[in-house]
Structure formats: structure tokens, C-alpha cells
Structure 1
Amino acid sequence: MDDHDTRNKVEEPFSEYGNYTYADYLTWRIDEMVELIRGKVFRQAAAPGVIHQRVAGNVFVELSNHLRGKKCEVFIAPFDVRLTLKSKRNEDIDTVVQPDICVICDARKIDEAGCLGAPDLVVEVLSPGNNKKELQHKYEVYEESGVKEYWVIHPNECTLLVYTLINGRYDASKIFTHGDMVSSKAVEGFVLNLEELFSDCL
């Protein structure tokens, strides 16, 4: 970003009661991480804890190793994912999220700003204070925008739940935990060993 762009940024321009688009989001200059879900601003409650970072980092490494040399690409937050239902114009996009991890297999969706469209796989690692956002708000926008697979990891409880998109609706798996091997339907051949993933769980 050049100096001209920086001068044009606006300090704290939004309200929790406002309704915004990606075009508005691009004008904000703030230090904290925020997400836009159906036009509403959601602030990151606090910096992720150590367990969250370990788990997210381990999943990212496993996916990165698996995808080396393949067409799919994995990204870790902060990374903007713009979810579209109608137009791809900035003024019409009202949902911009930063999943902990996402895998994108269609290179046409990737640009300098992040991802435009639904990733194939999204992984969210829960932190205290963000459970409702992940389990309700993000679930709904991931489902309606066509994210093929949505993994929700609860690091403190050492569990993983997989939502698979079937005929436009999410179907929930059983709750996976220590000793389970979890296979992805969206990322061919990827299997996650939860015994290793949750080795640092309290």
C-alpha cells in the first residue's frame, strides 16, 4: 500500500450496528482483525491462545505437506475470503471472513486480495469467546456459499466435527477425538491423525 492509500484510510469508521460491504472494509485502517458477516462487523475477541496456535499450525503443516505438488493450495489466517452469493463487485459483497485455515482447489478464485468465492475446505479452531461466531454465523455463510467441507476443532475439549455439504446442506459427522483418523472428502487423500494433533491438549 502506498502513502497516498494510507492517508485516505479512515480511523475506526464502523459501528456494531452498521451494515457494510467489502468496499467499506477496504477503506478501514485498523490494527485488530475484524470479519464481515452479512454486513455486520465482528471483532476478534482476543489474540488466540497457545493451544489454538499449536493446533492450527499443526493442521496447516499437515495440509501443506499433503498438497505439495498438487493443484490445491492451503492458506492460514490472516487471509481474506470474500464469500459471494450474487455479484462479485466489492459493493455487493457483504461477507469477508478470515478462516484459521482454508484449502482452495480452483486457482481462479485466488487473487492478490485473497480468495473470491468458497474454499473447498475451511478449518476453524475455536477460541474462548468466538464459539458462537464460528458455530452459528460462519456455519450459515459457509453452507449457503458452498464451502464443501467445514471442520470445527475444539482444542480444549480435543474434538473435531466435520460438516460435509450434501445437496446444499451440511451433514454433521460424529464427534472425533483422540485415536481417530479423520479423512477429508474435499481434499483427496488427506487424513488427519487426531492422536498426534491433540498431543498437547490439556
Structure 2
Amino acid sequence: MEANKPVTVNEPEAEYQLYSYSDYLTWQFDEVVELIRGKIFKKAAAAPKRIHQRISLKLATKFYTFLEGEKCHVYEAPFDVRFPKTSNEDSQIFDVVQPDICVICDLKKLDDRGCLGAPDLIVEILSPSNNETELRYKFDLYESQGVKEYWIVSPENQTFTINTLIDQRYVTSRMMTSGDVVESAVIKGFSLNLKSFFEGID
């Protein structure tokens, strides 16, 4: 591995090498890694904070309960989402992410390795180690790949921001917090009262 050690995004631009899903499948990192435009993004080796996990589990459970019996499926990380561009071949896929939560309604996109193509809805829960990735790189990736709704949750501030794809561009909501009700434009009928949602999460 050392002889062909993958570079990460914090190394000089000149040293960048493009990696594909084929490479990704061979790696054995202690950290969670994702590929965005062929570049490696490493998440922290340590487990996410407890509050991150509490929010993820509670929100995924609410989606699961709401969608039970429906055609849509909800998944939590670790769960690979691959975004093909010109080919579905592993060696030609350069974007592979592990969203905290994703909802897929086109079940033909699902296979034994995860999701091939854009989920209908993605939720990313921010942490100190991944804020820049979520707010900059993933926003652009999800918008360009046609993810219909992209939620960003801040555990520290107890806020939600919803990005809704309209005419191939994201329209961003105001920052919502306790007292607001989050509604999904993609998962019809799903709503979340943030005051009750964040109660008991600390």
C-alpha cells in the first residue's frame, strides 16, 4: 500500500491523482473514505460524536417508519452511493460517497454494493471533521448529479437547512430551528417538528 499510497485532498494539487471505484474497493483504511471527482476525502478515524449518532438514528427511524410499506427505502452510513457519469463500470466511476442518511425511491438503483445513481434525498449531519466537505464539495456534487433534496443538519446549533433541486439548481431554505416544521418536497407528507425532534438530544 505504501508504494502506491493514495493522496488525500490536503496534499498539493500537483500531486493529485484520480482514483476510481475500482481503486476504492481495494483500500483498507482505518478512516472512512469517500471519492469526489476522483479525489480522496478522509473522514476522522474516531467515531462521530454521540449527538451525531443520536440525530442520525432518530431521523432515519422517522423516515423508516413513515416509508414502511412504500416503495422508497432509507439507508444509514456506511452505505456506498456511486455516481456514474458516462459508464457504470467500476473503473469509470469517480464519485463514491457515504451519506449519513439517504432515501432511494427508484429501487432499480439498488444493488448488493449500495446505490448506483442519485438518491432522491440525502441527509448529511455536520461534524467538526467534515463541515467543509459537506458545505462545498458535496453541495456541488449532489446538485450536479440530480439529488432532488439535500438536507444539512447541524447538531451543535440544532438547525436544518434544506436544498431543493429546481431547474437543475439548488434553492436553499432559510436556516430552520426549534419552532419550525421541516417538510420534504420529495417525500410527500413527511414533516418534522424540530422542537420535538431535538428534545432529549444533547
TM-score normalised per structure 1: 0.91
Of 6, 28, 35 in structure 2, the residue corresponding to residue 14 of structure 1 is: 6
- Name the SS for the 1:182 alignment partner: strand
Check conservation: 1:34, 1:41, Cα contact below 8 A: yes
Listed as ranges, the gaps of 5+ residues in structure 1 are 1-9
Query: 2: CA distance between counterparts of 1:114 and 1:106?
Result: 13
TM-score normalised per structure 2: 0.91
2:103 matches 1:107: no
Moved over 6 A (4+): none
Query: 2: CA distance between counterparts of 1:99 and 1:49?
Result: 16
Query: 2: CA distance between counterparts of 1:201 and 1:57?
Result: 11
Superposition pairs for residues 116-127 of structure 1, below 5 Å? 116-127=116-127
- 1:98 deviates by 0.2
Which deviates more from structure 2 when the two are superposed, residues 178-187 or residues 59-68?
178-187
Aligned to 2:128: 128
Check conservation: 1:155, 1:198, Cα contact below 8 A: no
Query: 1: CA distance between counterparts of 2:5 and 2:60?
Result: 33
Check conservation: 1:51, 1:200, Cα contact below 8 A: no
Q: Which amino acid counterpart does residue 25 of structure 2 have in structure 1?
A: L
Superposition pairs for residues 166-181 of structure 1, below 5 Å? 166-181=166-181
Check conservation: 1:77, 1:98, Cα contact below 8 A: yes
- Name the SS for the 2:188 alignment partner: coil
- 1:88 deviates by 1.2
Check conservation: 2:54, 2:201, Cα contact below 8 A: no
Query: 2: CA distance between counterparts of 1:200 and 1:155?
Result: 13
Q: Which amino acid counterpart does residue 30 of structure 1 have in structure 2?
A: F
Query: 1: CA distance between counterparts of 2:60 and 2:17?
Result: 34
Q: Which amino acid counterpart does residue 26 of structure 1 have in structure 2?
A: L
Check conservation: 2:143, 2:165, Cα contact below 8 A: yes
Q: Deviations over 1:148-184 (max 9, x none)?
A: 0000000101110000000100000111100111110
Q: Which amino acid counterpart does residue 171 of structure 2 have in structure 1?
A: D
Q: Which amino acid counterpart does residue 6 of structure 2 have in structure 1?
A: F
Superposition pairs for residues 8-47 of structure 1, below 5 Å? 13-16=5-8, 17-45=16-44, 46-47=46-47
Q: Which amino acid counterpart does residue 35 of structure 2 have in structure 1?
A: L
Query: 1: CA distance between counterparts of 2:152 and 2:165?
Result: 14
Q: Which amino acid counterpart does residue 34 of structure 1 have in structure 2?
A: V
Q: Deviations over 1:19-68 (max 9, x none)?
A: 20001111112232100111110111242101111111110010000000
Listed as ranges, the gaps of 5+ residues in structure 2 are 9-15
- Name the SS for the 2:60 alignment partner: helix
RMSD: 1.4
Q: Which amino acid counterpart does residue 133 of structure 2 have in structure 1?
A: K
Work out the percentage of aligned pairs sharing the same amino acid.
51
Which deviates more from structure 2 when the two are superposed, residues 64-73 or residues 181-190?
181-190
Q: Which amino acid counterpart does residue 123 of structure 1 have in structure 2?
A: V
- Name the SS for the 1:144 alignment partner: helix
- 1:197 deviates by 2.0
Query: 2: CA distance between counterparts of 1:108 and 1:61?
Result: 23
